[in-house]
Structure 1
Amino acid sequence: MRYIDLFAGAGGFSEGFKRAGFEPVAHVEIDPAACFTLKTRLSYHYLNENKKLDIYIKYLKGEISRNLLYSVIPSHILGSVINLSIGDENNFKIFQMVEKLAGRKKIDIIVGGPPCQAYSLVGRARDRNGMRDDPRNHLYVQYGRFLKKYSPKLFIFENVLGLLSAEKGKYFKNIQADFKSFGYIVEPFIVNANEFGVLQNRKRVIIIGWKKDINFSFDQLKCQSRVEYKVGNIFNDLPKLSDGKGKDKYYEYAEGINDYLSFTRIRNGLDVLTQHITRPHTEQDKEIYRIAVRKWKRSKERLDYNDLPERLKTHKNRYAFLDRFKVVADDVPYSQTVVAHIAKDGHYYIHPDIEQNRSISVREAARLQSFPDDYYFEGVKEGKNRTAAFRQIGNAVPPLMIEKIAKLLIEYLK
């Protein structure tokens, strides 16, 4: 069963569907760094399926270059990553490329989620016009172009909860009407990643559409049982780091695997740790981090920005976003939502160990999103990718959640 991934990003959707047994036909993504990430992950899957993982391990250890890694991968696999923006100016070219990749084989499912900032409640609160003029409000129209072109049996459209309320529900009603016009029954389904084994409080709306001849039911999707682990499971086997430290390529684990890392396949036997790297912080920020960690450890209370000493208050806004400094508590079942802002600073993602006194590393953020440790997030330039990696991780869909949803949907596509 074959799928197209639109607005593919770092490949959270694609990883989940691939692990569930689907085959990718094409990934369409505008960000060049994310396209390299997709190509590297496709390289992993090809080498894994052909029992040549030693080549991929050499890449993770920094023993071979990215170009050398790609040189052993068939061109049609890397060519499935289409680095173009989805829109009227490029769609015809994208269609031609997809048809060349698919041949005569039918597309069974289309997946993806357009950029969500235009529907985000936080984004609308920060924007003077409430994001009304943002062109991303209408990217669902472009998604519809692909539904009309390929008429898959089923599609999944993922976005933030704000999609349902943006412009008093106008955009969602338009989406529903637009997609119904292509012959789909269209329903929204609100999911929380922590119900699928992801150690993160991440609520999203998934719009599922299916052809009328498919006897689809939401019941299975609503019956997920939360597996109880603690966030500390993602931290305790990693080497301790101070701010601005770590290695982009090969690192050794500090401890053996635990049940959560095994259950989720975050550690899957390859055991080559990469991108356990942290950003540097000012002394002022590190002092605030210590205050936030101590407050959580002592009383399980979050830091209110207005409670800081005056000398540490440099933000003019004293009325909103007062929880801008927040610990990723290790003694709770799930963390706060990981978002793309993590690429700008780590204040909302403070490591719970006061001795390390830093924000979380790239690898720790990826683990909160349920990406396996052998998933490498690329930059445009090889090796210069911390900010690009954080951005891709924050924008991603948790692959563990998508894998479980994909396994449920596969029964309806047989």
Structure 2
Amino acid sequence: MEQNLPVACVDLFCGAGGLTHGLLKKGIQVKAGVDVDPACRFAYEANNGGAVFLDRDVESLTAEDLASYFPRGSYSLLAGCAPCQPFSTYAKGKDTTQDAKWKLLRSFGDLVRKVQPDLVTMENVPQLPKHAIFNEFLEAFDGYHTWFEVVECKDYGIPQRRRRLVFLASKLGAISLIPPTHEKHISVADVIRDLPEIKAGETYPNDPLHASASLTEINLKRIRQSNPGGSWQDWDEDLIAECHRRDSGKSFRSVYGRMRWEDVAPTMTTLCYGFGNGRFGHPEQDRAISLREAALFQTFPKTYQFIPKNERANFTVIGRLIGNAVPVRLGEVIAMSIADHLKMVNKAEKKAN
């Protein structure tokens, strides 16, 4: 980054370090990541230089707790993705400001008030601005310039059909995300076609994360009859699940599906390793995508370690870490946007002097 002062950052709700890694790659000095899930520690600290993992509840943090991570002579950045519960349970127009499920977003806003960082960024679900709690969150930004928009991640080099809210705030002046960087989207083939072939239930010897969940005999038959981009409707009648035979289940076409080589991947979730959990079937091989492939769709580097060497991958745990992560590339884009913003700030300051 070319601004006069470095940017020191604390990443709240840091998870396995997707946002941190992207920020670091583009020059932001991430000093610490905060999360209550101890399973995140190894991946966070093994891949992110000197950034330390703090096993803390964000609700319990004070400005004093974070002061040492924001040294004098640097801009301070508070970053994070406050986890929000699924929105399907909320009726349209329902007031959610008092719902306990929103406490993490409220805690994020409270911490902004206490710390008063120069810069803030947040990634979150696209539905968030429709809820009253978001207006409450914005009240924490008195004295800040704010920007937020729902972003199509594939337009920024993330090979997924993923829409996310990106929020930026600055005390220094107007700020916004850089324009889309990828007119041509990165495809499934671009990302995983060169990986070694494995079978369902198999782990590639040289990479414990290139592991595919096992399939039952009926699911093996189902995936063999699944076409790329198709659905369970391609199968013989005797393979169709009872729930999909009912009228209520006929609209659920995006499960038990294969990806298409030439398309982007579906949104990675915490259950992205399961054939029956979405369109997570490999385009060609008779298996669900491996954990490594899921991590690559989240734009983690091939070298990113989620477990120590010689340790067997736990699908439930690592699936959660990968699915909950902010894509690394989105972290890069946010860092690039902050760099552009600070260049403009410095240019304006020089002109004023």
Q: What is residue 368 of structure 1 aligned with on the other side?
A: 297
Could you tell me how far apart the structure 2 residues matched to 1:102 and 1:312 are?
Answer: 57
Q: 1:188 aligns with which of 148, 156, 174?
A: 148
Q: 2:137 aligns with which of 162, 170, 175?
A: 175
Report the CA distance shift for 1:204/1:179 in structure 2 as closer, same or farther (over 3 A): same
SS of equivalent to 1:276:
coil
Q: What is residue 267 of structure 1 aligned with on the other side?
A: none
Q: What is residue 106 of structure 2 aligned with on the other side?
A: 141
Aligned AA for 2:157?
Answer: G
Q: 2:14 aligns with which of 4, 8, 13?
A: 8
Aligned AA for 1:142?
Answer: S
Q: Does the Cα contact within 8 Å between 1:278 and 1:360 map onto a contact in 2?
A: yes
SS of equivalent to 1:194:
helix
Q: What is residue 245 of structure 1 aligned with on the other side?
A: 202
SS of equivalent to 2:243:
coil
Q: What is residue 39 of structure 1 aligned with on the other side?
A: 45
1:218-248, CA deviations, whole angstroms, 9 ceiling, x for partnerless residues? 3x6234332344311222211111111014x
SS of equivalent to 1:188:
strand
1:412 aligns with 2:346: no
Q: Does the Cα contact within 8 Å between 1:305 and 1:324 map onto a contact in 2?
A: no
- Structure 1 residue 384, shift from structure 2 partner: 4.3
Q: Does the Cα contact within 8 Å between 2:146 and 2:174 map onto a contact in 1?
A: no
Q: Does the Cα contact within 8 Å between 2:208 and 2:312 map onto a contact in 1?
A: no
Question: Matches of residues 54-93 of structure 1 in structure 2 within 5 Å?
Answer: 77=50, 80-87=52-59, 90-92=60-62
Q: Does the Cα contact within 8 Å between 2:275 and 2:287 map onto a contact in 1?
A: no
Report the CA distance shift for 1:407/1:24 in structure 2 as closer, same or farther (over 3 A): same
1:99 aligns with 2:64: no
Question: Matches of residues 301-340 of structure 1 in structure 2 within 5 Å?
Answer: 302-304=230-232, 309-315=237-243, 318-332=249-263, 334-340=264-270
TM-score (norm 1): 0.72
- Structure 1 residue 148, shift from structure 2 partner: 1.7
Aligned AA for 1:404?
Answer: V
Q: Does the Cα contact within 8 Å between 2:271 and 2:277 map onto a contact in 1?
A: no
Could you tell me how far apart the structure 2 residues matched to 1:196 and 1:396 are?
Answer: 16
Q: Does the Cα contact within 8 Å between 1:160 and 1:204 map onto a contact in 2?
A: yes
Q: What is residue 34 of structure 2 aligned with on the other side?
A: 28
SS of equivalent to 2:11:
strand
1:341-384, CA deviations, whole angstroms, 9 ceiling, x for partnerless residues? 3266654200011xx311000111011111101101138x9544
Q: Does the Cα contact within 8 Å between 2:158 and 2:186 map onto a contact in 1?
A: no
Question: Matches of residues 151-300 of structure 1 in structure 2 within 5 Å?
Answer: 151-165=116-130, 169-176=131-138, 178-181=139-142, 183-211=143-171, 213-216=172-175, 218=176, 221-247=178-204, 251=206, 273-293=207-227, 296=228
Could you tell me how far apart the structure 1 residues matched to 2:274 and 2:43 are?
Answer: 20
SS of equivalent to 1:246:
coil
Could you tell me how far apart the structure 1 residues matched to 2:281 and 2:95 are?
Answer: 29
Q: Does the Cα contact within 8 Å between 2:35 and 2:56 map onto a contact in 1?
A: yes
TM-score (norm 2): 0.83
Aligned AA for 2:266?
Answer: Q
Aligned AA for 1:221?
Answer: I
- Structure 1 residue 185, shift from structure 2 partner: 2.6
1:387 aligns with 2:352: no
Could you tell me how far apart the structure 1 residues matched to 2:134 and 2:197 are?
Answer: 45
Aligned AA for 2:133?
Answer: Y
Could you tell me how far apart the structure 1 residues matched to 2:35 and 2:137 are?
Answer: 21
- Structure 1 residue 405, shift from structure 2 partner: 2.6
- Structure 1 residue 28, shift from structure 2 partner: 0.4
Q: Does the Cα contact within 8 Å between 1:109 and 1:155 map onto a contact in 2?
A: yes
Could you tell me how far apart the structure 2 residues matched to 1:174 and 1:289 are?
Answer: 46
Q: Does the Cα contact within 8 Å between 1:28 and 1:84 map onto a contact in 2?
A: yes
Could you tell me how far apart the structure 1 residues matched to 2:112 and 2:14 are?
Answer: 16
- Structure 1 residue 385, shift from structure 2 partner: 2.9
- Structure 1 residue 401, shift from structure 2 partner: 2.4
**How many equivalent pairs are there?**
330
Aligned AA for 1:351?
Answer: H
1:273-307, CA deviations, whole angstroms, 9 ceiling, x for partnerless residues? 551111111111122212222xx3xxxx5215597
Report the CA distance shift for 1:173/1:215 in structure 2 as closer, same or farther (over 3 A): closer
Could you tell me how far apart the structure 1 residues matched to 2:300 and 2:39 are?
Answer: 17
Report the CA distance shift for 1:384/1:222 in structure 2 as closer, same or farther (over 3 A): closer
Report the CA distance shift for 1:323/1:160 in structure 2 as closer, same or farther (over 3 A): same
Q: Does the Cα contact within 8 Å between 1:274 and 1:374 map onto a contact in 2?
A: no
Could you tell me how far apart the structure 1 residues matched to 2:331 and 2:183 are?
Answer: 15
Q: Does the Cα contact within 8 Å between 1:179 and 1:186 map onto a contact in 2?
A: no
Could you tell me how far apart the structure 2 residues matched to 1:245 and 1:307 are?
Answer: 25
Could you tell me how far apart the structure 2 residues matched to 1:401 and 1:180 are?
Answer: 23
Aligned AA for 2:213?
Answer: R
How well do the aligned residues superpose, as a CA RMSD in angstroms? 2.9
Q: Does the Cα contact within 8 Å between 2:96 and 2:133 map onto a contact in 1?
A: no
Gaps of 5+ in 2: 1-6, 344-353
Aligned AA for 1:84?
Answer: R
